[in-house]
Copies of this chain bind each other. A is one copy, B any other.
Amino acid sequence: MSKLRMGVIGAGLWGNNHAHTFNVLPETELVGVCDLDEGRALKMKENFGAAEAFTDYRKLIASDDIDAVSVATPDFTHTPIILAALKADKHVLSEKPLATTVKEAEDIAEAAAVSKGKLMIDFHNRVNPILAQVRDMIQDGQIGLAKHGTARLSNTTFVPFEMLSWAAKSSALWFLGSHLVDVLRFILADEVTRVYAVARSGTLSAGGVDTKDFHASILEFSKGTVVTMENSWILARDNPSLVDFKLEFVGEKGQIQADPTHSGGLRRIVDGGMKFNDYIGMTPTGATRIGGFVQESIARFVDSVVRDVPLLADANDGLANTRVLAAIEESVASGIPVTIG
């Protein structure tokens, strides 16, 4: 069997994850890499032994040597790349969120419907070992209908102030809430029908990053579940973990509490206080195997293309996700609840 020939667009942290995974998986071959910054593109080409480096994504997509592309560029740049790749009938694995406006997400969903290429959104928390179990428990009916819940996915100020160069063009809502809304839709197997949200500014803008500090939202789902959601970028800098991810459901006959980041299963106490180390899905694999759920999600895209198994998350998941985030922003602006769909 010939290998699936991959191109990776975006040479940041996440693009490198994709490239590594395509190098290790037996079904794939990393052929091309692309970044606006030629130096980064060449370095990535060299690091992973790719055949070719590009600075124009259109050329990578046009290459006959490439069957499928990964899009790992900043959130707000996804749309034209994905549309071009789908138009060329290439398979596409897009980082999340799919797009940052409902119009763009709709255009992509339409293009995906007519392309010969498959489109997967890399909502990797669907294979997070904790969250996949939560979904199974809920869908098995272990707690009955989830009546209410709370969901937090927030970062310390390190992320907007130091980690992300384009933080001002995003927010905790788009950067983190996109994951969380998808996780909620996935676990509950349900759609959000109504949202209300409050947001505030001040702390980030005072530090030079002109975006919202946080969004606090109430989401109502079609089957009756009510979830309060927090997405904040102003958690205390010296938090034991960069990320605080918590999820709880209270059901008709039981509760489930998930805490992938602050459970403290591995703690260091050194200069600067207690730190929680991440260890979920971080199996220390031998060189011929991928390890951990983040790479597993990428492998699921390959499974889908090569073996025709269902996509982990498709264009409609990306569109529904964007609709919820856009409705939350609309509620903040208008001060009243917003109905979806």
Does A254 sit within 8 A of B, measured CB to CB?
yes
Enumerate A114-137 residues with CB–CB distance to B below 8 Å.
127, 129-130, 132-134, 137
A70-95 interface mask toward B, CB cutoff 8 Å, 1 = contact, 0 = none? 00000000000000000000000000
Closest to A228 in B: B228
Binds B, one of A61-69, A99-107, A194-202: A194-202
- Min CB gap A149→B, angstroms: 9
Does A272 sit within 8 A of B, measured CB to CB?
yes
Total contacting residues, chain A, CB less than 8 A: 86
Does A1 sit within 8 A of B, measured CB to CB?
no
A141-170 interface mask toward B, CB cutoff 8 Å, 1 = contact, 0 = none? 011000110101010000000000000000
A310-336 interface mask toward B, CB cutoff 8 Å, 1 = contact, 0 = none? 000000000000000000000000011
Enumerate A253-286 residues with CB–CB distance to B below 8 Å.
253-260, 263-275, 277, 279-286
- Specify which of B152, B255, B265, B267 is in contact with A269 (CB 8 Å cutoff): B255
List residues of chain B with CB within 8 A of the CB of A265: 130, 258-260, 263, 265, 280
List residues of chain B with CB within 8 A of the CB of A337: 196, 335-336
- Min CB gap A192→B, angstroms: 13
Q: A216-B148, A216-B228, A265-B280 are in contact. Are A270 and B296 (CB under 8 A)?
A: no
Does A289 sit within 8 A of B, measured CB to CB?
yes
Binds B, one of A5-13, A28-36, A51-59, A230-238: A230-238
Check if A296 sits within 8 Å of B290, measured CB to CB.
no
Closest to A284 in B: B132
Check if B134 sits within 8 Å of A266, measured CB to CB.
yes
Q: A132-B284, A284-B127, A286-B309 are in contact. Are A256 and B267 (CB under 8 A)?
A: yes
Cα distance A230–B268 in the bound complex, in angstroms: 19
Does A187 sit within 8 A of B, measured CB to CB?
no
- Specify which of B203, B239, B291 is in contact with A252 (CB 8 Å cutoff): B203
List residues of chain B with CB within 8 A of the CB of A222: none
- Min CB gap A93→B, angstroms: 14
- Min CB gap A75→B, angstroms: 23
A186-224 interface mask toward B, CB cutoff 8 Å, 1 = contact, 0 = none? 000000000010101011000000000110101010001
List residues of chain B with CB within 8 A of the CB of A2: none
Does A42 sit within 8 A of B, measured CB to CB?
no
Does A293 sit within 8 A of B, measured CB to CB?
yes
List residues of chain B with CB within 8 A of the CB of A290: 289
A residues near B, CB below 8 A? 26, 127, 129-130, 132-134, 137, 142-143, 147-148, 150, 152, 154, 196, 198, 200, 202-203, 213-214, 216, 218, 220, 224, 226, 228, 230, 232, 234-240, 250-260, 263-275, 277, 279-293, 296, 299-300, 303, 307, 309, 335-337
A-B contact pairs, 8 of them (CB 8 A): A129-B280, A142-B270, A198-B226, A256-B268, A273-B275, A280-B280, A283-B283, A289-B290
Beyond the given pairs A148-B216, A281-B281, 20 more chain A to chain B contacts, judged by CB atoms under 8 angstroms and listed by A's residue number, are: A26-B26, A133-B282, A137-B268, A143-B268, A147-B200, A148-B230, A150-B152, A198-B220, A236-B253, A237-B271, A238-B274, A255-B267, A255-B269, A255-B270, A257-B264, A272-B273, A281-B282, A283-B291, A284-B293, A288-B307
